[in-house]
Structure 1
Amino acid sequence: MKGEGRLLAIPGGVDDFREICEGGYYFVDKSELVSDIVNDRSEVFLFTRPRRFGKSLNLSMIDAFFNLEYKGNKWFDGLKVNSHPEVEEHRNAYPVIRLCMKDLVADDVGIEREAGNGRADIIMRRNDPRYPNIVVELKKSRSKTDIFNTMEKEARKALTQIRTREYYRSLKGKTYLYGVCLQNKKAKVLFEEMDL
């Protein structure tokens, strides 16, 4: 990310943190947002910004920092987040599920969030038949023994719950069902596809 004596490109329309880092683009360092998240300890964060103010890039950066999939990357070398040693134990330490909705138009998707009223945790209803609907049911495991089998069972329970309660009954077309079990830094995701 350092210019190393050369002119950096301005990343117009580039919202992928990895691409910015590896592609030699100019980057305004907002990486301290990661330390804000770690130190705040809230369960939910809401980042509001006007259009074109970097929400997708910030989300991509947060994903790149926490996601196990990117373990060993050098993308944060030289950035401000490195001046916060308390965040290091969280670097690439978690399974991350990232659902990006930036290409959706307002009437293209409906999202519901469970509030104890018998709905799935997340339902993304697509009005455009080219794209699938998505139903996600999340479970949390606290098992101390046989963690792998317990997480598998909980993820299967999540898929069964989606089918039994027919969370998809109002959906039409291709629908992806995700049963997810989380425990500490581990995740088990089971997937089914339905044509409704």
Structure 2
Amino acid sequence: MGLYLNPNADAFMEDKGTRIYVDKSLLIRELNSVVSTKEDFVCLSRPRRFGKSMAGNMISAYYSKGCDTREVFSQMKLGQEPCFDKYLNRFNVIKLDLNELYQ
């Protein structure tokens, strides 16, 4: 089933390497704006096939202490933001992939 606590960035790197990947890293800028506030509970709900798993992999790769993704994110849209590395790889992340329950 995989690593749940502080996962590495393998799933994100696999997603990023596909032809269909679209850089949505500025989503992390929005998430960073609510870290340590009363609004820091976020729910990503989108219709089927809208990239929830890819977004989850990206978010996990950004925040997880289990990997160093500075070089990867510095080359993305988020890397152009002044404080892109403020929370980069600073949190313990628990990643649950509910898609695995159905396989």
- Which category describes the TM-score, using the shorter chain as reference length? 0.7 to 0.9
What stretches of structure 1 move > 6 A for 4+ residues in a row?
Answer: none
| 2:32 paired with 1:38 | yes
| Aligned twin of 1:65 | 62
| 2:55 paired with 1:55 | no
**Residues of 1 paired with 2:70 and 2:95: CA distance?**
18
Q: Over the residues paired in the alignment, what is the CA RMSD in angstroms?
A: 1.8
- Between the two proteins, the alignment pairs up a number of residues equal to 88
| 2:94 paired with 1:101 | no
Classify the secondary structure of the residue corresponding to 1:33: helix
| 2:80 paired with 1:87 | no
**Aligned pair in 2 of structure 1 residues 43, 103: CA closer, same or farther (>3 Å)?**
same
- Please give the TM-score of this superposition, normalised by the length of structure 2: 0.73
2:22 aligned to 28, 35, 44, which one?
28
Q: Which runs of 5+ in 2 are unaligned?
A: 1-10
Identity score, percent: 31
Whose radius of gyration is greater, 1 or 2? Answer: 1
**Residues of 2 paired with 1:104 and 1:72: CA distance?**
28
Q: Which amino acid aligns with 1:29?
A: D
Higher relative contact order (CA 8 A, sep 6+): 2
> If each structure's helix is expressed as a fraction of its own residues, which one has the higher value?
2
Superposition deviation, residue 18 in structure 1: 1.6
- Please give the TM-score of this superposition, normalised by the length of structure 1: 0.41
